A and B are shown apart, each in its own frame.
Chain A
Amino acid sequence: MAADDILFAPIAVVAAGYRSGALSPVDVNELTLARIAALNPLLNTFITVTADRARAAAWHAEQELRRGVDRGLLHGIPIALKDLIDTAGVRTTCGGRILADNVPARNAPIVDRLEEAGAVLVGKTNLLEFAYGIVHPDVGPTWNPWAPDRTAGGSSGGSAAAVAAGLCFAAVGTDTGGSIRIPAAYCGVAGLKPTYGLVSTQGIFPLSWSLDHAGPIARTSADAALLLQVILGEEIAPVERAGLQGLRLAVLANHREGKEMEPAVLAAFSAACRDLADAGAVLQEVTIPDLHLADDALFPVLGPEASAIHSRWLQERPQDYAPFTRLQLELGLTVSSLAHVRGQQYRRYLAGQLLDILQNADAILSPTAPWVAPHEDPVIADEAGAAEGRRTGLYNLSGLPALTVNCGFGPGDLPIGLQIAGRPGADREILAIGAAFEALRPDANRRPPLPAALQE
């Protein structure tokens, strides 16, 4: 198998290769590290590459597998973590200057789970500063593997780009308004924002306690499901469904519309809906009154929580933030307590409306983002930021699980995401729907064009 074929293979295929002896964790890890060395200067995907630690973990995995100690499908598989997830002894910068030298003493519990499963951590991935404002100039943006003059998206852009570029097999990101799903859509991979509270956020630097979620990013829904099961400490079992016949899918009309929608995104979304219907799913159009108020509710919830978290640094080290991060943190100080409470109340109202839809549907479909990857990440607090997160933020507010999978390519051959949302706790079900959709689209998970850096 050629190096690229190995690095873009499904995790189950690599795992089978380890057990048959066709592949070795040490060799796969070295291929991964070599690709990171070649591409990270171009993409700025990793803030820290943990090469020595990865080599030791890969060697250990290989020895264990030879001895018959099998920790499951992630054993010996290179993975990455967003650089706000605590890793004992490995710096965790949150993408900025304030914590540039922060080395946690302990792992986040999800990191313990990944290590117990034998996963090989190859590095800590780039992100928007504190997963919030914008890129910090000390760190710089993550560039998109499909077009290195465009953003990989935020805030988990490093995780999504690393997965898309074959620099790891899966990664963990976080999502407070779309920060797993938007970069996953821009980079053409799968990303799940789980049900609120399903995945522990202990040991993960918070942006907004009531909206934060941690979840998997992988090239397929099946690989994302595998990572989810490991970080939940569950037995690994395939997430699949027997076809799409009779599946009831609600198409959220509000989110097919809007002046921000690029025609190519709408066309790809419509084609995805047609393919699902042709495969036997039953689609119905639904509309949520007052859904525009989700835009109004997001910042009053998020902003004050973020500003409370950063209040001490905002007073003592304001100049160390990127300018727009500082601006947004200062803006959070101006939200009244009543506005915060009204935002929290709206979450109940919105969740009720979504659950009403899901009484007659198994999942809700929409485009993930209204456009393909832009050149720069918009600021959350302005209109472009609101438009970018309009189709994702409602699931942070409501807490319902939402998955993005690739559903085509737009201008410049840039990826487009299809979002599939479900009932609380239906994470596995929407991953299974995602996998069934991916099976209809064999080209959906194609690789980004090989950069010149690797052809030399």
Chain B
Amino acid sequence: MSDNNPGQVDTAEVQRMAAHNGVRLDPERAAALVPFVQGLLEADARLAALDLGTLPAAGLPWAPFGGSMHGEGGSGHGG
């Protein structure tokens, strides 16, 4: 699946996703998740399209280089 084309997810795919994280879902439970998972994949495709590059994914959101909690902040734009 590419970032911008999530494709269609099915019950087996949802079972595989959960199994990767250590939980076995029976087909009924996995099927109930399919529309939600589809929505999440589409949401992720929209975020991927934003292309945030090397913008940090850790630390305080307003302090791009891990500054103090009450720092002056500054633009987090980048990437």
Q: B-contacting residues of A (Cβ < 8 Å)? A: 195-198, 290, 293, 295-297, 299-300, 307, 311, 314-315, 327, 330-331, 333-336, 338-339, 341-353, 355-356, 381-382, 397-400, 423-425
When distances are taken between beta carbons in the complex, the residues of chain A under 8 Å from B60 are 196-197, 399, 424
Contact assessment for A351 and B44 in the assembled complex, using a CB-CB cutoff below 8 Å: no
What does DSSP make chain B's interface, helix, strand, loop or mixed?
A: loop
Whole-angstrom distance between the Cβ of B19 and the nearest chain A Cβ: 9
Q: For residue B41, which residue of chain A has the nearest CB?
A: A339
Render B39-79 as a binary contact track against A, CB cut-off 8 A, 1 for contact.
01001101110101001111011111000011101111111
List 13 additional A-B contacts (Cβ < 8 Å) besides A311-B22, A346-B47. Answer: A293-B47, A307-B21, A327-B32, A330-B25, A333-B21, A334-B17, A334-B37, A349-B55, A351-B61, A381-B36, A423-B73, A425-B69, A425-B70
CA separation between A350 and B37, bound complex, in Å?
24
CA separation between A31 and B55, bound complex, in Å?
55
When distances are taken between beta carbons in the complex, the residues of chain A under 8 Å from B36 are 327, 331, 381-382
Contact assessment for A350 and B61 in the assembled complex, using a CB-CB cutoff below 8 Å: yes
Contact assessment for B43 and A299 in the assembled complex, using a CB-CB cutoff below 8 Å: yes
Are A197 and B69 also in contact (CB < 8 A) when A346-B47, A348-B61 are?
yes
Q: For residue B78, which residue of chain A has the nearest CB?
A: A348
CA separation between A296 and B42, bound complex, in Å?
9
Q: A-contacting residues of B (Cβ < 8 Å)? A: 14, 17-18, 20-23, 25, 29, 32-33, 36-37, 40, 43-44, 46-48, 50, 52, 55-58, 60-64, 69-71, 73-79
Are A398 and B33 also in contact (CB < 8 A) when A330-B23, A424-B69 are?
no
When distances are taken between beta carbons in the complex, the residues of chain B under 8 Å from A398 are 61-62
Contact assessment for B52 and A342 in the assembled complex, using a CB-CB cutoff below 8 Å: yes
CA separation between A355 and B75, bound complex, in Å?
6
When distances are taken between beta carbons in the complex, the residues of chain B under 8 Å from A345 are 52, 55-57, 79
**Which of A330, A344, A425 is packed against the most chain B CB atoms within 10 Å?**
A330
Complex partner residue of A355 from B14, B47, B50, B76, CB under 8 angstroms: B76
CA separation between A339 and B52, bound complex, in Å?
12
Q: For residue B37, which residue of chain A has the nearest CB?
A: A334
CA separation between A397 and B21, bound complex, in Å?
24
Contact assessment for B47 and A348 in the assembled complex, using a CB-CB cutoff below 8 Å: no
Contact assessment for B18 and A399 in the assembled complex, using a CB-CB cutoff below 8 Å: no
CA separation between A327 and B60, bound complex, in Å?
30
Whole-angstrom distance between the Cβ of A316 and the nearest chain B Cβ: 11
